Structure 1
C-alpha cells in the first residue's frame, strides 16, 4: 500500500495523506481562536449560499406525523438563523377522486382518511408556506415521463 496507512472501514481503504495529516492533529477546542475564526468563515459562506433566493431549498413532507414534525422543526431551526425557506411541498397525497371512485381497497380508503387528518395539521401549521401538493402516483417517480408529470403537478397546483 505504499506510503498510505490503510484506514480500516469496510475495507482496507487508501486514505489521502492530507486527510491523515488532518486526523493526526489534536482536535481544537471550540474556544480556540483559530477554530472560532474558521467556524465564522464557514457560517458566513453558508449564509451566502442559503440566503441566495436562487438557491433556497424547499422542504418536502408527507402527510404523516413524523415527517410533518421534522419539517416544522427544520423550518424553525433555519428561521432562527434568518435563512429563507422556499416553502413546503406535500408529497404522496392520495387524491380524493380516487377514493370516491370506489376502485380502491379498504386499506387505501383508510390511508386516505388518515392522511386527511394530517392534512388538517399541515393546513393549520404550514399552509402559508405550502407551494404545492403532489398526489400519490400509481408508480414510483422514475424516468422522464414521470418527472414531467411531477413538474406539471407542481406548477398547476392551486391552494384550496
Structure 2
C-alpha cells in the first residue's frame, strides 16, 4: 500500500536471511530451534499475504553478503534451482 500511495512500481518481494528448514532436524540448541519455528510461522504469513508476488527467498549465509565472491555465491544459490522454504 505504501509503495502504491507514492506510485512506486513494484515487481515483487524478496524474503531475506531465510534459515533452511531442514536445519531444525538436527541436534541444535533450543534458541535456534525456536528461531526456525518462528521463521516458519512468519513465512506462512508472508506466503498468505503475498503468494506468488514473492520472487525469491535469500538464504542466511555465514556472514553478510559483501564483495564480489559472496555475491557470486549467493547468485549461484539463488539461480541454480535451489528451492525456497
Alignment of 1:100-115 (within 5 A): 100-102=25-27, 104-115=28-39
1:157 and 1:84 map into 2 onto residues whose CA distance is 27
TM-score computed with the length of structure 2 as normaliser: 0.79
1:143 and 1:77 map into 2 onto residues whose CA distance is 31
RMSD: 2.0
| Residue among 52, 61, 76 paired with 1:137 | 61
Alpha-carbon offset, residue 123 of structure 1:
0.6
1:105 and 1:79 map into 2 onto residues whose CA distance is 42
* Structure 2: gaps of 5 or more residues: none
Alpha-carbon offset, residue 96 of structure 1:
1.2
Alpha-carbon offset, residue 97 of structure 1:
1.8
1:140 and 1:83 map into 2 onto residues whose CA distance is 28
Change beyond 3 A, Cα 1:100–1:122: same
Moved over 4 A (4+): 157-160
* Structure 1: gaps of 5 or more residues: 1-75
What number of residue pairs does the alignment pair up?
A: 84
For the 8 Å contact 1:93–1:135, the answer to whether it is kept is yes
| Higher RCO (CA-CA < 8 Å; seq separation 6+) | 2
